[in-house]
Copies of this chain bind each other. A is one copy, B any other.
Amino acid sequence: MTNTESRTAAEHSHDATQRPTAGAKNDRYLRALRRQPVDCTPIWIMRQAGRYLPEYRATRARAGSFLGLAKNPELACEVTMQPLDRFELDAAILFSDILTVPDAMGLGLYFAEGEGPKFERPVRSAADIDRLGVPDMEGELRYVMDAVRLIRRTLDGRVPLIGFSGSPWTLACYMIEGGGSDNFARIKAMAYEQPDQLHRLLEVITRAVIAYLDAQRLAGAQALQVFDTWGGVLSPTLYREFSLRYLQQIAAALPRGKGDDQAPLVLFGKGNRPYLSELAASGAEAVGVDWTIDLDEARRRCGPGVALQGNLDPTVLYASPAAIEREAARVLEAFGPGDGHVFNLGHGISPDVDPAHVGVLVDAVHRLSRRPGNG
């Protein structure tokens, strides 16, 4: 199904001359992440290149499968660009999957029809962990870097490009459970029974995630987001030991580049509300939150040192244009005056949303947040 077993000594073709120069024509998103003044609040939407768009479904049909799409740089670029051609979005995000790294580690990612992601060879023993290493970013994962390079060239500075990775904890969940899970019984039992083994696993994943995000930045990504989708299923003790610790390591160790080329790091986590002050103190430039907290409270907890991303309930997009505008206004108001807000949903957009409603949201956010003084 995947050919990630072929760990050939791949061509290291770090071609610095291919790397586009900095600066985006629309730099609201990067300015907001740096907590600089903007003419209006930037917006992008998690999973903006996705199934709710008919043109995405058409490209995916041509690709034959989700992985066929994600592993083809030309098609990945095509779907990355699609939402930008419809809406005045302020950032593009690499079209890819959060499980590319474990796939490249040899676990064999596949998607059974109508089900979520699965691994052919989940991690089930200490020996399985021993076998894992940091994949070659210009080898097994070259298709990702090629996509980043191609998208960045194609964007030609129109908006910034976001690269991303799953968090170590979230990747470990899929790697140990072998797919999605209702209660994460296997990995939690491991956390209780064999914490040292789990730490060994999380350490190699963390090294891989750092290398992966760094390679995306070198290939052209201008901001980097970590998705900690499953941190919220943990008790506070386990969260701090098995999720937060590795997010902190990423925030501390990940190179961001220099000067105008600096790529801010955004830590998004579903259910991260209890840990916002710790995430804000990690050294990350921004924290993304879900919709179960008001942004004024999130801002209070995070303090002034980070930008915030979020946090409209994705289901608002099922409501009427008038309700969408009202709820967008509520989120903007909750954040309040001042800089450092990137508007987004609190989670990915659902596949059955009317694309026209996304346009309503994007326009409403820009219009309602317009600052007469700037730009």
A318 touches B (CB below 8 Å): yes
Of A93-101, A230-238, A254-262, the stretch lying at the interface with chain B is A230-238
- Hey, what's the 0/1 contact readout for A232-251 against B, CB within 8 Å counting as 1? 10111110000000000000
| A292 neighbours in B (Cβ, 8 Å) | 232, 234-236, 271, 274
A184 touches B (CB below 8 Å): yes
- Hey, what's the 0/1 contact readout for A338-364 against B, CB within 8 Å counting as 1? 000000000000101000000000000
Do A314 and B183 touch (CB < 8 A)? yes
- Shortest C-beta distance, A122 to chain B (Å), equals 16
Given A274-B292, A293-B236; A189-B319 close (CB under 8 Å):
yes
A18 touches B (CB below 8 Å): no
- Of all chain B residues, the one with the shortest Cβ separation from A195 is B323
Q: What is the size category of the interface that chain A forms with chain B?
A: 20 to 34
| A271 neighbours in B (Cβ, 8 Å) | 292
Most chain B CB neighbours (cut-off 10 Å) among A184, A232, A292? A292
CA distance A152 to B327 in the complex (A): 49
A60 touches B (CB below 8 Å): no
Do A350 and B183 touch (CB < 8 A)? yes
CA distance A314 to B327 in the complex (A): 36
A6 touches B (CB below 8 Å): no
CA distance A271 to B294 in the complex (A): 15
A interface secondary structure, majority: helix
| A193 neighbours in B (Cβ, 8 Å) | 319-320, 323
Do B274 and A315 touch (CB < 8 A)? no
- Hey, what's the 0/1 contact readout for A277-291 against B, CB within 8 Å counting as 1? 000000000000001
Other-chain residue from B183, B297, B315, B316 in contact with A184 (beta carbon distance below 8 A): B315
- Of all chain B residues, the one with the shortest Cβ separation from A314 is B183
A121 touches B (CB below 8 Å): no
Within 8 A of B (CB), among A305-325: 313-316, 318-320, 323
Given A189-B319, A273-B274, A315-B183; A291-B235 close (CB under 8 Å):
yes
A188 touches B (CB below 8 Å): yes
| A273 neighbours in B (Cβ, 8 Å) | 273-274
Do B235 and A313 touch (CB < 8 A)? yes
- Of all chain B residues, the one with the shortest Cβ separation from A290 is B235
Within 8 A of B (CB), among A3-20: none
- 29 pairs of residues in contact across A and B, judged by CB atoms under 8 Å: A183-B314, A183-B315, A183-B350, A184-B315, A185-B315, A185-B350, A185-B352, A186-B318, A188-B316, A188-B318, A189-B318, A189-B319, A192-B316, A192-B318, A192-B319, A193-B319, A193-B323, A232-B292, A234-B292, A235-B291, A235-B313, A236-B297, A237-B330, A238-B313, A271-B292, A273-B273, A273-B274, A274-B292, A274-B293
